[in-house]
Amino acid sequence: MLKYVSVFLVGITVGALSVYFYNHKNTTVLSDIYPIRSKSSNYTFINPLLAYNTPVSEVGRYHELEDKITGEISKMKSDGKVDDVSVYFRNLNTGQWVGINEDKEFNPASLYKLPIMVAYYKEAETNPGVLTLKVEYKPSDGVPQDATPVKYTFGNLYTVDELINDMIINSDNVAFNMLLRGVDRNGLKNVFDDLGISYPNDVAYISPKDYAMFFRVLYNSTYLNREMSERALKLLSQTSFKSGLASSLPDTVFISHKFGIRTLNEGKPGQFSELHDCGIVYKKDNHYLICIFTKGKPDVSPAFLAEAIEDISKIIYANQ
């Protein structure tokens, strides 16, 4: 009888200690969760909430998924497909996330077209007429890309709205240059300042984790209002870039994303080509955010970088 009582008491003790440490662990984790608020100082009585930051922890991270991605990246590097890869993944329902070199900064290239859109849409909330303003196409705006369906003619006028569409859907550089020339620079800087992201000056670099903030605030409608957030993500779902993230998904799954590509052909020491893709995957009942930034030497085809993004995206999709 005494033996059974002893076993019973040991069981109670172990159980009690397990509950204590479990609760203690979660208390520590919860205390590390903090709100990310707008950096704007324009308000006296409100403190706008943008998102919540959750720590890397047993609760907040997928260790098995992280191991699979890390293994795939190691294989890619050994095969010579990439020199560097950074990944930021976040489940938008639970807040759980995985980061692999997520704070490493890359040249964003066309990724900066998204903040231009956000700046115009932010202004349009109080001044809707900004989207119907017309901008003249000048030689300094560059030459249209071969793939663009919009035929620009020097001296012609184009509305801000149609330029935004072309800049996002086709990642057109002429549209970007025309919009950059006409944007309210203070308003554009405010977008970066509000989200706590370094404003690009002469040299522009950004990490996948920081860039993901643009998509987080659009999805949560915590920076632009609901109408403009919906408008932005709908436009991003129509991008013509079908490699990278998009190529890894079934046709029935929507994705709102933006890519950036920087190619170098000189082959000089220390030079790298880069391809990045970041967006929201609308998998049924399980939406998630994924940003994958890649870098390879100039002799590495962008197709290999796109394939690397696709392979990592497949792993994440299969584990959601």
CATH number where 184 lies: 3.40.710.10
The rounded distance, in Å, linking the Cα atoms of 161 and 145 is 19
Exposure string for 85-98, b = 16+ CB within 10 A, e = fewer: bbbbbbbbeeebbb
Residue pair 116/135 in contact (Cβ under 8 Å)? The answer is no
Tally the domains of the chain: 1
* CA angle (136 as vertex; 127, 123 as ends), nearest 5: 15
Domain coverage including residue 272:
51-318
Q: Output the average pLDDT for the chain.
A: 83
pLDDT at 60 (0 to 100):
56
275 located within any domain: yes
Q: Residue 68: is its pLDDT beyond 60? A: yes
Q: Which two tokens stand for residue 249?
A: 């998904």
7 located within any domain: no
Q: What percent of the chain has pLDDT over 90?
A: 61
**In this predicted structure, which of 30-34, 193-197, 202-206 has the lowest mean pLDDT?**
30-34
Q: Which two tokens stand for residue 241?
A: 């870039």
Q: Which of 299, 297, 292 is nearest to 317 (CA)?
A: 292
115 located within any domain: yes
**In this predicted structure, which of 178-187, 212-221, 266-275, 292-301 has the lowest mean pLDDT?**
266-275
Q: Which two tokens stand for residue 91?
A: 């489940």
pLDDT at 2 (0 to 100):
42
Q: Residue 14: is its pLDDT beyond 60? A: no
Confidence label for 4 from pLDDT (cuts 50, 70 and 90): very low
Answering whether pTM is above 0.75, one says yes
Confidence label for 17 from pLDDT (cuts 50, 70 and 90): very low
29 located within any domain: no
240 located within any domain: yes
Confidence label for 256 from pLDDT (cuts 50, 70 and 90): very high
Helices 160-169, 113-126: inter-axial angle, 10-degree rounding: 150
